[in-house]
Amino acid sequence: MQLQPRTRTVLAWSLFLASVGGCAVGISLVLVVVRPLQARVLAGNVLSALVYLSFAVIGLVLSVLSFPRFLGGFRSWSTWTRSKEEARRWQHHASTHRS
């Protein structure tokens, strides 16, 4: 399924904001429900929220950037181990796959 760039961006940001909202609701529920609140419980839940937010950020970056552009950029960064000719080919590949 091919989405328009604007639709893909709006969808990516809305899913990211839903993830952030879910993490905020989860932390709020821990603050309201758990009594007496212990630092260990709060720290564990904040750590869990950060793990989910890191996945949300990765998903946001991959969906806002087109995937071939992301791979082309990653590949061009790692060309220091490659020959100059292969580096030129990857640079051309990355420049032709931009959205």
On average, the pLDDT of the chain sits at 78
CB 57 within 8 A of CB 90: no
Mean pLDDT of 58-69: 73
d(CA 92, CA 90): 5
Task: List CB contacts of 5: < 8 A, sequence separation 6 or more.
Answer: 99
Q: What pTM does this model have?
A: 0.58
Axis-axis angle for helices 84-96, 67-77 (nearest 10) = 160
Backbone phi, psi, residue 5, to 5°: -55, -40
**Confidence at residue 17, expressed as pLDDT on a 0 to 100 scale:** 92
Q: Which residues contact 26 (CB under 8 A, 6 or more apart)?
A: 45, 48, 49
Q: How many percent of the chain have pLDDT more than 70?
A: 71
